[in-house]
Structures are given as C-alpha cells and as structure tokens.
Amino acid sequence: MSQACKVQCRFGSACARLDCWFEHPLGHSPEGIDSIPCRFGARCHRPDCRFSHPAEHDPSEVLPPDCRLGAACCRVGCPFKHPAAPTVARDAASEKRICVWFQKGHCRNGSQCMFQHVQQERDANVLVVRNLPKSEDPLLLESEILAYFKSFGYVSRIQAKTDLDNRCRGFAFVIFADACCAADALACNHPHWDIRRKTELPMYIEGTVKMSRKAALPERVQGEARLPFVAADRVLLVGEGDFSFAATALTLGFLGTAHCCASSKEPPRDAKHLVQLAKDGLRCLTDIDATRLAEASLTGAFDVVVFNFPHTGEPNVEANQALLKGFLGSATTSLRGDGRIAVTLKQTWPYTEWELEACGASVGLRVVDAYPFPAQVLIERGYTHTTTDNIPHKVEHLHSARTVEFVRA
C-alpha cells in the first residue's frame, strides 16, 4: 500500500476514484472533478460524464461522431452516425442490371452502388447458343459471342463447349448477371444462331426436377442378347468411333470381310483397330456422314445398316431426333429391298425421350424386332464405348442397351 502511494496516478487531476491508491497533484479532489473540462467538449454525448462541459450542453441533443465505415458499416447497433442512403439517379441500362459483386457477397459500395442489389435465379440468367461452327477456334468464337451479347447487358461468363481436341461441339453457354438482360437477348433473333434459355430446352421439363442419369433406372429389355447380323450378311457400320465394335465383331466371327464396310464421321484418336482391320481386309472409311450415305463412295446395297449409340454431342432431344431421322432416311438408299436397319440406344434418360420408333415411322419404316445389346460379350473381347465428344466418361447402363431393327413399311 505504501509503495503504491509513491507512484503518480496516470490520470492525474482527472482521476475520479475516491479510493485511488496512487499519488495525485496538490489540490486534487474527486468531488471537484466537475471543474475539469471534458476533452470532448460540446460533442460529448455521455449523460453520466463527470467532467465540465460548455453552458447549455445537452447530451441527448449531441449527435454522435461519424462512423469511419460510413454507409458500408454493417454492425448492428453501431452508436456512431451513418450517412443517409442517397437517392442515386440510375439510367435505363443500370435499372436493368444487378450488382455482380453483391451476388458474390461483397459489394464495397453499399447503398451508394449504382446497380441493384438483388439475388437473381441462376437458371434464368443462362442462355444456350446452338448452331455454332464446329471448326472454329473456341477462343475466337467466345469473343464473337461476347461482342454480340454485351450490348444487352453485363455478361458474367461465356463457355463454348469443346472436346479433348479443343474443337467446338456446336453450342455454348452465355451467363448474364441479370435475368432481364437475358430476356432482352432472347427476344432478338440472330440470323444464324439458335438462342434459347437454358430452362426452355427439351431436356428441362417444366415443373419437374431433371432426372439424374444415376437415378434413372434402365427399362428392362426382353429377349436374348445378340448382334443384328451374321457372317454371310453384307453389313454397313456407321458411326464407328474407334472401330472397336467392328474389330470385336470380326474376332467373334459375326462379320465378314468380303462385302462389308465400317465407317465413321471423323478419324479415330487411336488408329490401332483401324490398322488391324485394314490388315484383315475389311474396308474402312472415315469422313462418312450417317445422314448423307447416298453421297458416300459405297459400292452395292447392304443387307444390314448398323448405327450403334448415335449422338450429336448436343444436350437436347430435338437435335438427336433430327440425327435419327436423317440416318434412317439416308440408310434406305444403301439398303436392299428386304434389308434391315439396326439402331442401338441405352434405355435411360434422355435416350428414352428420343422416341426412336416414332422417328422411324416418320421416314416410312416400321419396327420388326428389338432385343438386348450383347455388351458383356463384346467388352470381354475388346469393345470400348466411345462418346461423341471424345471425352472419357464413366459408362453406365451399357448392359441394358437395346437394338431396334427397322424395315421398309
């Protein structure tokens, strides 16, 4: 206690403690502290302040100091003064746009931001652009798409879908910051592109949740799994991909080499099957469009024309139905009078929505047989399922695929 009394109080004459142990200046009295001027003066807003203030000082009428964060302050119950939200004059363009930084959760402009702080639904902001040239550089294509759509509003991102060879797959996604801008862009027709809202595509069913590929159980296919041809048939295979199906069928003895032909639209990434088939004497062709077989350099008519797992690479039903109709109509030009056309599809969503039988009926064909695809036997002999975009995927429900045979009605 005696040691503390020899130490000067750090508050000096301003000390208000009656039981303070430390030493104070001469004449110090805690009861007379009201004679010491308050360092905040007239700006003091503490009603219990014991220091002296200017005459006519009313703490209830004193405005608190400005908050250093200003309009950006988000503290609940902050005792400091904040500026009133200004009325910002927005032009017609900003009225239709929302703040992208607010969507991300950190707009530093606060109430002074020129744009609307509204969280929009993501799907309403996304447009799908189709009918794009597949041979064009994706970066140049994205620049061209941006140059067209930026006049409608702020474009958050553009993504042109590509394969492993960095080739455009024919469609791209345009993501706007605001659904109103997406609606304005959708209202203007482009002379070459097919522009639609993401939710308007056939793969998105209104009022329902899009079915997952894993959740969609395959339909049960009755019958014995087999191939649609035997060694004595003249067979034309289209859409072969890596030619592993032709190589496996030849190994199993179901495909002859004398009058058969295997074709694909593009050269395969791995030419090992193509080289082996050429050594075995099977005619193999590339750059053959399945929808224009009449223009291909094919000799003679065939007993069976086969197209396994057709797909355009676009995620919509209409484009794939157009592919099926084009192939089925074109295949009749390379078919004998009593010949058959065989198409194999998985029995899961979205393939079940392509309505294969209806596509055949629209070009004058009728179904004569349907049976399971022998996937297990083919895979054990070296068959590999190749996708249209050449991107490795986990292959599901291949064992439940179905082959449908058509003949002329």
Compute the distance between CA of residue 142 and CA of residue 168 in angstroms, rounded to an integer: 10
Reduced 3-state DSSP string for 48-66: CCCCECCCCCCHHHCCCCE
State both tokens at 383.
Answer: 């068959």
- What is the CATH T-level fold of the domain 235-408, as seen in this structure? Rossmann fold (3.40.50)
Tens digit of pLDDT for each residue in 258-282?
Answer: 889 999 988 888 889 999 998 999 9
Mean pLDDT across 162-166: 69
Tens digit of pLDDT for each residue in 394-405?
Answer: 566 778 899 999
More confident residue, 6 or 80: 80
The pLDDT assigned to 61 comes to 55
The pLDDT assigned to 220 comes to 61
What is the three-class DSSP state of 12? helix
State both tokens at 381.
Answer: 């002999």
Mean pLDDT across 243-266: 91
User: Where does the chain hold its CATH 3.30.70.330 domain(s)?
Assistant: 123-200
Q: Give buried/exposed letters for 332-366 (b at 16+ CB in 10 A, else e).
A: bebbeeebbbbbbbbbbbbbbebebeebbeebebe
| Cross-strand partners of 187 | none
Q: Are strands 402-408 and 365-372 parallel, antiparallel or unpaired?
A: antiparallel
The pLDDT assigned to 1 comes to 46
The pLDDT assigned to 230 comes to 92
Q: What is the mean pLDDT of the chain?
A: 78
| Cross-strand partners of 402 | 345, 372
More confident residue, 193 or 306: 306
Mean pLDDT across 200-214: 47
More confident residue, 329 or 74: 329
Of 85, 173, 175, the residue nearest 128 (C-alpha): 173
The answer to whether 275 and 246 have CB atoms below 8 angstroms apart is no
Quick one: CATH architecture of 123-200?
2-Layer Sandwich (3.30)
Instruction: Tell me the pLDDT band of 309, cut-offs 50, 70 and 90.
Output: very high
The pLDDT assigned to 33 comes to 52
Compute the distance between CA of residue 146 and CA of residue 143 in angstroms, rounded to an integer: 5
The answer to whether 326 and 291 have CB atoms below 8 angstroms apart is yes
CA distances from 200 to 128, 186, 197, 203 (A): 9, 11, 5, 8
What are the strands of the beta sheet with 335-345, ordered from one edge? 283-285, 261-263, 235-238, 302-308, 335-345, 402-408, 365-372
The pLDDT assigned to 55 comes to 67
More confident residue, 126 or 313: 126
Compute the distance between CA of residue 29 and CA of residue 394 in angstroms, rounded to an integer: 86
Of 178, 145, 182, 184, the residue nearest 161 (C-alpha): 145
The answer to whether 336 and 302 have CB atoms below 8 angstroms apart is yes
CA angle 182, 185, 190 (to 5 degrees): 145
Longest dimension (CA), the chain: 125
Cα 178–chain centre separation: 17
User: Where does the chain hold its CATH 3.40.50.150 domain(s)?
Assistant: 235-408
pLDDT of 235 strictly over 70: yes
Instruction: Tell me the pLDDT band of 54, cut-offs 50, 70 and 90.
Output: confident
pLDDT of 43 strictly over 90: no
User: On the CB side of 232, how many CA atoms lie within 13 Å of its CA?
Assistant: 0
What is the three-class DSSP state of 354? helix
